[in-house]
Amino acid sequence: MMNTFRLRKSRKKKFRESLYTDISLGLTCEAIVPEFRTPFGQKLALYRHDKLGHILVLDGNIQWMEKDEAIYHETMAHWPMHSVAEPQRVLIVGGGDLGVARELVKYPMLEEIDVVDIDPCVREVTLMYVPHIAGHAATDPRVNKYDVDAARFIKEAVSSHYDIVVLDTTDEVNVATPLFGEKFQSEVYRVLTKGGVMVRVAGSVFLQEDEVKKTLELVRSIFSRISTGMLTLPTMMYLGCFFGIVVAVKEGIWSSIPTRRISVSGLLPLSWYDARWHAFVAERPPYIQKTFFS
């Protein structure tokens, strides 16, 4: 399949994100991999912008920008890793670009990192043109890559097997739609160990307020209200500037206090994550508290 993604000379073109009908993010960039439809029905493209670097797009929506992808990937990996006492096994649903896995392989304590993404084209394009996004996760023997349906995978997984589940999914469209229902969320709860932590994408706290509330209520209905919290990430790559990440702990009380001292010396290189960042993204400014937790 790799031969499909040949580099083509391309003039600068206008790209506009298609997530919203009444507001859009527009960029003038070069098409490194012109948009094509993968065997799983997703429309995939890779662009390059002079200031923002490479930009991965699925179904017309930006997944990451090279300039600030570390904000998202570092937080999705290191925040839950410091919210579980002694994590050993992690499941990543989605995350085919291996950005989250790149950060997780920095932990010698982890024995197993399962990445389940139905569409291998995401990984193949990333590895061919932007391999540093995946880093050592591309070759680390602890990283198991499953190109299968995540809903089926988690249904067949052993109960209480994973200490951390990261739901690094696209928006609720196309092949990702089954990953947003109560049935799938219940399976996530089942496969977590007691005290295990789940993190999942919720959406823009400004432009997707209803979606964030819906995700919070779904998670609360399964994990309980006191077990569920939210991180807010400042980001340039997602229209709306501030992005919500729902966090929940199985049979425990959600807390922003890390379970052990955060030492970044063994996690380098890092662009954003440290003890101050861990606390910062869990803060609840008045708008977040009033809108989502009142």
Q: What are phi and psi of 232, to 5 degrees?
A: -125, 115
Q: Catalytic annotation on 168? A: yes
Q: Could you tell me the CA-to-CA distances from 217 to 44, 131, 166, 203 in Å, in that order?
A: 31, 37, 18, 14
> Residue 58 pairs with which residues in a beta bridge?
44, 61
Q: Which amino acid is at 69?
A: E
The answer to the question of whether 117 is labelled as a binding residue is yes
The answer to the question of whether 208 is labelled as a binding residue is no
d(CA 281, CA 247): 12
Q: Any idea how long the chain is? A: 294
Q: Could you tell me the CA-to-CA distances from 202 to 15, 55, 230 in Å, in that order?
A: 24, 21, 9
User: What element of type H or E holds 193?
Assistant: strand 192-204
d(CA 248, CA 253): 8
Q: Could you tell me the CA-to-CA distances from 227 to 249, 255, 259, 281 in Å, in that order?
A: 5, 8, 15, 17
Exposure on the CB side of residue 201, measured as CA atoms within 13 A: 21
Which of 68, 119, 168, 171 is labelled catalytic?
A: 168
User: What element of type H or E holds 286?
Assistant: helix 286-288
d(CA 145, CA 123): 10
**DSSP 8-state class, residue 158:** P
Token pair 């570092």 is found at 74
d(CA 208, CA 251): 29
The answer to the question of whether 149 is labelled as a binding residue is yes
The answer to the question of whether 150 is labelled as a binding residue is yes
The answer to the question of whether 210 is labelled as a binding residue is no
Binding residues for spermidine: 73, 97
- Known binding residues: 42, 73, 97, 117, 149-150
Binding residues for S-methyl-5'-thioadenosine are 42, 117, 149-150
Positions marked active-site: 168
